[in-house]
Chain A
Amino acid sequence: MGVIPTIAEAARAFAARSLSPVELTHACLDRVERFEPSLHAFVALDCEGALAAARGAEARWMRGEAKGPLDGIPIAHKDIIDVAGFPTTACSRVLAGQKPAAADAPIAARWRAAGAVCLGKLTTHEFAWGGPSFDLPTPPARNPWNPAHFTAGSSSGTAAAIASGMILGGSGSDTGGSIRGPAALCGLAGIKPSYGLVPRTGAFPLAWSLDHLGPLARTAEDCAILLSACAGHDPADPASDRRPAPDLLGGLGDGVRGLRIGIPQAWHEGVLPLTPATRAAIDRAAAIFRDLGALPRVITLPPLQDLTDAGMVILLGEAFAIHAPWLRARRDEYGEILRERLLLGALVSAEDYLAAQRRRRALAAAIAEAMREVDLILTAAAVGEAPLIEAVDRWTGFRLPNLLLPFNLTGQPAISVAAGLGVGGLPVAIQLAGRPGEDALVLRAAHAYEIARGPLPSPPLLAG
């Protein structure tokens, strides 16, 4: 197979019997064999289990009893998420020797029930925050567009595996951009759903009030398929939304005519070193949306630094509360980057944490007020192309404002979408955010944008 299809394309090909789930799974496993030695996307593989699941899916398609568009689609899960039969290690020595999980986390169980073929577990930054680290049990994932470059994190293996065609979609977690950042730097789509839409049960937490689970894939349409299959209430997650999950696929092709799209221009100015290619991508996206009948305009939102301050203090306080017992007893088992980040949590007092939470509420109210005038927010998803992995500044999150973290604070759905290539030949990306609960609108706009944008080239690695 020359080109790995998207999930939507594969499902159509399965229905037309021009492609079989077994054939597709073999093609993905071939790519694992070719690219895994240089990309380090997987921490555990189950080839036999995957092929057995693919054979089951194939039989269902042949009988006309397919479970839906995910039936027979190769996927994998970030290694902070429980998948039955695999240990969950969070790529940390702290969890080395864990027994295999006895049960799937809901996101894994729901995708499995939809017929998805699980290939295994994917590299993550340590406990979804510390990376890129070279002192963990497994090496950091590499960017398929250029393996000398960073994937971003923390859902690094998920992005590397999808961009290289090892899988068609996968799970990530997003506490301050960990789905959207890797999607942006690897030329993919990745959605952080509304807070509460996807249950976090069975996933190791980083910061309870900011954590979200969601999918990465090649397109917004594929994200919609994956998110549809894992959204919905779970009583074991106290933050889980009790409302019925929205229909994310029915209106996906309805376009953006009449939608009001706000661009917080001030977020892209000041200290953030946005590259010319990223600035051009935002301008181009605004022009595309205008051509499609939407109404883009500049808006004012709370300063990005204020949102970052509140988010980082909350993240540190909650992450420290989770890890403090291990930090006291087993500090040397952490990689250096995560250890040092977590130690800073000791400096966050109860007063700081509550000041940040009060500020969060005020900032979220200000953004909600601004969104009375617009339906979507358009921003950059990253300042530019992926840096060299060796050159990543481990304290960037403290040094510069974060374009992705605001929507973890507010619980709004936000998607990162590829917007083309920069001067270095690596992807640049935009972000679209909607009101809480309006995940379908975010996916619809991203889908319309992707169609108008046109196809992206494949990573050079795949041509070799």
Chain B
Amino acid sequence: MAGGGAGGQYRGDVSEQRGTEVRTGPAGEGSADPFARAGLTLSAAERARLAEPIRLLEAMRARLRAAAATEEPATLFPPPKPWA
């Protein structure tokens, strides 16, 4: 997790696999499709299965953005830190 142990154990596997990474072709990083921008190609079936959870997540994002819009933009925001 954070730090040693498992984190170090698994790191090599990822970099070894990057050679076989599936890129998204012309869409890629400039695409309006967030999946393509993230380097992920979704099938039509996957998109269909994800339609409802995407809608649910969009509602969560919309509520968070609405809440953020009521906050003073310049409010200091310290990043998360240990509670100690």
Contacts and interface: CB of A to CB of B under 8 A. Distances in A.
B17 A243 contact: no
Contacts of B27: none
Contacts of A340: 46, 49-50, 53
Contacts of B58: 347
A383 to B, nearest CB: 18
Given A202-B5, A340-B50, A346 B34 contact: yes
Nearest to A329: B17
A344 B53 contact: yes
Interface string B57-73: 11011011101100100
Contact of A306 (B3, B21, B49, B67): B67
Given A208-B1, A398-B56, 17 more contacts: A195-B82, A205-B2, A234-B3, A236-B4, A236-B5, A242-B84, A305-B63, A309-B60, A313-B57, A325-B14, A326-B13, A328-B38, A329-B20, A329-B22, A346-B40, A347-B54, A358-B75
A344 B78 CA distance: 27
Contact of A395 (B14, B52, B75, B81): B52
Contacts, number: 172
Interface residues on B, range: 35 or more
Interface residues of A, number: 72
B14 A326 contact: yes
Contact of A88 (B6, B13, B35): B6
Contact of A357 (B6, B42, B79): B79
Contacts of A343: 35, 40, 42, 46, 50
Interface of B: 1-7, 9-10, 13-14, 17-18, 20-22, 34-35, 37-40, 42, 46, 49-50, 52-54, 56-58, 60-61, 63-65, 67-68, 71, 75, 77-84
A292 interface: no
A82 B6 CA distance: 7
Contacts of A239: 2, 81-82
B21 A329 contact: yes
Nearest to B6: A204
